[in-house]
Chains A and B, each alone.
Chain A
Amino acid sequence: MSAHLSYGRVNLNILREAARKELREFLDKCAGSKAIVWDEYLTGPFGLIAQYSLLKEHEVEKMFTLKGGRLPAADVKNIIFFVRPRLELMDIIAENVISEDKMHSPRDFHILFVPRRSMLCEQRLKEQGVLGSFINIDEYILDLIPYDGDLLSMESEGAFRECYLESDQTSLYHTAKGLMTLQALYGTIPQIFGKGECARHVANMMLRMKREFAGSQTQILPVFDSLLLLDRNIDLLTPLATQLTYEGLIDEVYGITNGYAKLPPEKFAAQKKQGEVGKDLPTEPKKMQLNSAEELYAEIRDKNFNAIGAALSKKAKIISAAFEERHNAKTVGEIKQFVSQLPHMQAARSSLANHTSIAELIKDITSEKNSLYSFSFHVQLTTLHSSFIYLFYLYLTRQVTSEAFFDNLTVEQEFMTGVDTDKVNTYIEDCIAQKDPLIKILRLVCMQSVCNNGLKQKILDYYKREILQTYGYEHMLTLNNLEKTGLLKPQTSTRNNYPTIRKTLKLWMEDANEQNPNDISYVYSGYAPLSIRLTQVLARPGWRSIEEVLKMLPGPHFEERQQLPAGLHKKRQQGENRTTLVFFLGGVTYAEVAALRFLSQMEDGGTEYIIATTKLINGTSWIKSLMDRPEAP
């Protein structure tokens, strides 16, 4: 289940095992049979750490979702609440405890706060009169969750909003804590680089925490050579662009949460073994796990979508050939060997079928035109429905684009290359008139603003008015938020630094090769993510060479060194790669992850990267986190 975590240069399984150990210890503290009452939000991240089997080993017999009223009946000795430290959840817990029938089945109560305890919450429980009912109250510090052999995430949805909109640095504190945990397991990181205000804060906190724990030095040989902290707001452009890698597209269309994607089941029902009677079509969306444990997925996830067809067909040929081998197996020994390979080959074939289906799904969606001019005023679908219905997919040798997707991409690329960023864009106007999903509009308009270093007041006002008139005045709040974070703002000075940054860092590569890429710009078919370019330049030739450009980006840049205990300095062999941990404060996209993986496997790269972030995002989820809407009734 977790084998894929140890494939990379850094064995992230150690982190996962440490987390599991802590969980086991807590469960054992509450001796006897147990039932866990889950805060729904936590089930996803926990699933990456421990499966039900581990819980069962520690006498967890039942699991319930946290909700008001009375707890369901269960013949267990202990009830444990796994919750985030949120006041409203405390009220629900209090309700559960109070309505417990003490006469008939006395059960012991415990709470596990994830990731931290909170005085406020315990105070609330006290006010409700239930604090005394809990035997064990503990915290389970789950900061960085390993998603793959080279990917860690805190899955903190509100991090960007809190840091850049609300000036609340709590998530930065958690980040620093998470990094301290990492250093405890993998050794002190000797060099820390950073760019951005939040990066500076995190570094300061780390250094201070290190001083506070000066006594306990870890004697572990450091695994990481350096840490690079990057603020999301030094590169606001990249998340706004539509990702064009296979994994990026799946995220854009369907959304990937906790390593799973929920896909419409129709195409997958077709996969039945020969001779099996066709069952009714399943109505539940198919949940697919997407990580590098699946060999085929690991190969194709980071490819540009234009290269997927070729990759799938190549794989199909290999698998076919492998199955054909059975004709060559003559001796008993050969047949035995073939049979032993069968499970692996069958797994490969089913994997191929799955991904072909996903690819077809995306293609199907893209060839169906969005309903363009439906002005019917039936109850408005909330514009937060994030289906990017116009998407593009290449299957085998045919290239089919949907007009709408192509137009959208064209406009994105025009902005990125600096074309007409100072005028009202007619495509955006048309989309507003057609009432396309609001987030699509916001992404484009923000992109134009970022590439133009703010929009002229007249143009900004025009866009704002069109948006408010078409989607409702309440979105004024969202527009204000976007302005505060710098995504959609008025022009303050006539100087636009973006073209200079683009030229110096070579962000736009005209002839990006999608099939056999030689540069990170393939992930956006021509645009190299600014954040990754900075990472690349830091490794070679270093940031001294781009001082001017760095000054144009917000926030300070810095370098810090941490003392290593004597004798732990790593002696690097000739030709051995450095290992850098890149931490994105505020979110990172799958396309950027793909770009870093590309850098890692480059022959003369010299550096391998492990990626960490506060959250895995795409343009839609990112903008959504900045929208101000009340909970749906």
Chain B
Amino acid sequence: MFYVTHNPYISEHSEKLLTSLILYLLDCRWSVHDDVILLWQDYVSDWTPEETVKRMQQGKVYSLEKFRSLQDKLLLLDEAVNAHDGNVITAVLIYLKKSLSKEILFRELITREIALRHYIHYLKEIGEQKLLLMQYRDHLNVRDENKRRDFLKNCLSFPFSPDDATHVQDHYTLLERQIIIEANDKQVESSGQADIFKKYPRKASILNMPIITTLYYSCFYHYGESDGTFSSPANIRKTFRISDKQFLLTCLGARAKLKAWFDVDALFTTKNWLGYTKKRSPIGFHRIVDILQKNNAPVQVLQDYVNLVEDVEQKISLAQKYKCHDVIINTYRDLKDRQQLIVYRGKVERSSSEYRKIEEILSNSVRLWGEVSPRYRSRICFPSSKLNLNH
């Protein structure tokens, strides 16, 4: 049995001796007198976070176990960070990793950039990168957009798979740009400078919206800007590698909503090498017609696009739905379908130009077509409702 007086001012040398002795005894499982244990705990519990960190830096014996509550642990971590000693920070982090749940630890690390960096490095060293990936999820908990952007920036150094890394990079870039666009537009809108904002005031902020929604916003409010600005559709398309189809559909939606029919036309018009313009689309024209109609496009505009629908049945059905008389008449004329023309004549107003047109065609038809029996008649009918599910 050993009795040791507790003297807070014992010399360093004695202290080393004392602590080594106690530790040795504990190791040997000798029943060290309770008093000694108590003395040791007492001795140890006197150390504040600041003192503990100092001891760690000086290579002296220390004990982190006494920091039990979350608050104490965080104080310890902050002290360690203030000391700028990488080893100390890492040692504290190891202790925290052992004694705190992943979620709580990470939640606290989000706001402590230096500690976070060390933690990431440590995890990589010990091969526990996967933990990091789960923490990416926490970005959703960060409400303030600037803080979230910074958090995402930190996430960039996580060991994601190459694919995921690209997505995180895009996420960060997107949010970064959104913050800039939002600040700018908010200011422009409130100053009343731009007409577009006066006519169509913004209903919500662009922050944290997906890329396609951002593109739509851009096509709506910033159409035609050069690709030098962050807010231009061209820039967004290039930076985020948006597919032609998606780009087209989004632009179409935005311009159609604004009833900018010329812009819509320009989307599809291409010049071939002879200088002739032609309309092309990577998606079926019937889809475009639907979108235009939903945005209340006038019949003249709709008509042009219905005309471009390749499938004859679909073309006629769309034309009938949206009352594009000319298209129907022309199609039946091209198909030399006299019967249908007669039927359709009954559907238009007697005094309208359509009526006269049909009359003219019919009266010429005998001369032009002879007694041609109408082709395709049986095929051009309304698509029957698909009843049988077990096809």
Residues of A within 8 A of B (CB): 306, 372-380, 399-401, 406, 409-410, 413, 429-430, 433, 435, 461, 464, 466, 468-474, 476-477, 480, 510-512, 525-526, 628-630, 633
Contacts and interface: CB of A to CB of B under 8 A. Distances in A.
Contact of B141 (A406, A472, A630): A630
Interface in B334-391: 385-387, 389-391
Contacts of A372: 290, 294
Contacts of B257: 375-376
B211 interface: yes
Sorting the interface of chain B by its residue count into under 10, 10 to 19, 20 to 34 or 35 or more gives: 35 or more
Contacts of A378: 203-204
Centre residue among A410, A461, A468 by max chain B CB count within 10 A? A468
Interface string B196-233: 00000001101011111100110010000000000000
B174 A473 contact: yes
Interface in B281-340: 287, 290-291, 294
Contact of B163 (A401, A409, A461, A630): A461
Given A476-B168, A476-B171, 18 more contacts: A375-B250, A380-B210, A401-B385, A401-B386, A401-B387, A413-B391, A433-B245, A433-B246, A435-B212, A464-B167, A470-B210, A470-B211, A470-B212, A471-B210, A472-B210, A473-B170, A476-B164, A480-B133
Nearest to A631: B141
Contacts of A380: 209-210, 213
B253 interface: yes
Contacts of B212: 435, 469-470
Contacts of A376: 257
Centre residue among B211, B243, B389 by max chain A CB count within 10 A? B389
A473 B163 contact: no
B40 interface: no
Nearest to B170: A473
B4 interface: no
A629 B213 contact: no
Given A401-B385, A476-B168, A525 B390 contact: yes
B156 to A, nearest CB: 13
Question: Can you list the 10 inter-chain pairs with the closest CB atoms, starting with the nearest?
Answer: A375-B253, A473-B171, A472-B210, A630-B140, A379-B204, A469-B211, A470-B212, A373-B291, A378-B203, A377-B213
Contact of A409 (B143, B249, B290, B389): B389
Interface in B144-169: 163-164, 167-168
A469 B246 contact: yes
Q: Is the interface of B mostly helix, strand, loop or mixed?
A: helix
Centre residue among A377, A378, A409, A629 by max chain B CB count within 10 A? A377
B186 to A, nearest CB: 15
B242 interface: yes
Contacts of A306: 389
A209 B287 CA distance: 62
Given A477-B137, A628-B137, A377 B246 contact: no
Nearest to A475: B210
B209 A377 contact: yes
B62 interface: no
Contact of B167 (A375, A379, A429, A468): A468
B282 to A, nearest CB: 11
B209 A472 contact: yes
A429 B171 CA distance: 22
Contacts of A433: 245-246, 249
Nearest to A464: B163
Contacts of A511: 390
Contacts of A477: 136-137
Given A375-B250, A433-B245, A464-B163, A473 B390 contact: no
Contacts of A466: 243, 246
Given A469-B240, A474-B140, A628-B137, A375 B216 contact: yes
